[in-house]
Amino acid sequence: MRIIDSHTEGEPTRVIIGGGPDLGNGSLRERLLRFKQNHDHFRSTAINEPRGSEAVVGALLCEPEDSTCATGVIFFNNTGYLGMCGHGAMGVAATLAYQGRVGLGLCRLETPVGVVEANLLTPNRVAIENVPSYRYRHQVSLNVPELGTIVGDIAWGGNWFFLIEQTPVPLTLQNVKPLTAAALQIRSELERQQITGADGEEIDHIEFFGPAESSNANSRNFVYCPGGAYDRSPCGTGTSAKLACLAADGKLMPGESWIQESIIGSRFVATYHVGSNGEIIPTITGNAFICGEGILILQRDDPFRNGISLAGPA
């Protein structure tokens, strides 16, 4: 399996450029389903230990159905699949530039939740125009054992988020463990109380906000991802969901910049415009750097050739 590794504002992306599964034709949604049902061991091989880690997001390149797109891409992590991934889309665009497949300027990426436009401002600085984002429910009250009453918004930015303005502890790297524990409790309680996104879809990302440490950023966040890791970047889909909430509250106007700082201090610059149907269309800008290129080797007798899952050998 041939790979190129990058990181976007600290969050790693592993792009599979060769040796991945043959998913056939059809929409990206259909091919994602085939990936999940018939070839999940490829996901585990590429992402899980001993070759990867819980922080890595994978991106399988495939032929796009839309001929205007440079590539199709399916994103995945250590436990499953993602509709879209903002930092990952930046990583894919930087990877395509590194390969010489695209030049500076616009390129389109086809994902299972729609086409995403990537504008390569330099070989490493990328502006992603994300899928339309929106707030689904406002000020949802949730009683969480040990944490008390938590109030948050449910919003879509390419994935489903529960966005919480009050943070249980300060947003510092020293507090990653208690923040992770709190986020897991909140996610479990959302599931227990059957609080979901639209059409019953699972809310699999939890996002806390607090004051920025930098004087020229608007806020700092901590994002708990579906696989149990925290996002080292400010999270592209999470920042998109935040923009949708700010727009709904009249706190951010079209074209105004929102600078989102991550738990490690890296940043995305975000703006939005209003689409023809009144939808919020975010643009997220950040930096992605290539940090590795190689081949993953699977030896026949290796008991962990398909990665280490929570249940043992995959």
Look at the domain 134-274 and name its fold. Answer: Diaminopimelate Epimerase; Chain A, domain 1 (3.10.310)
Query: What per-residue confidence (pLDDT) applies to 237?
Result: 92
Domain boundaries, the chain: 2-130+291-313, 134-274
Q: Is residue 21 pLDDT above 90, yes or no?
A: yes
Beta bridge partners of 105: 120
Give the residue numbers marked as catalytic.
Answer: 85, 235
Residue 291 phi/psi, 5° resolution? -130, 5
- Spatial distance between the Cα atoms of 268 and 252, rounded to a whole number of angstroms: 16
2-130+291-313 and 134-274 share one CATH topology?
yes
Alpha helices by DSSP H, listed for 39-146, are: 40-47, 86-99
Band (245; pLDDT cuts 50, 70, 90):
very high
Q: What is the CATH number of domain 2-130+291-313?
A: 3.10.310.10
Tens of pLDDT, residue by residue over 72-123, are: 999 999 989 988 899 999 999 999 999 999 999 999 999 998 899 999 999 9
Q: Is residue 296 pLDDT above 90, yes or no?
A: yes
Alpha helices by DSSP H, listed for 57-160, are: 86-99
Query: What per-residue confidence (pLDDT) applies to 310?
Result: 64
pLDDT averaged over every residue in the chain: 94
Is residue 205 within 8 A of residue 198, CB to CB? The reply is no
Q: Is residue 290 pLDDT above 80, yes or no?
A: yes
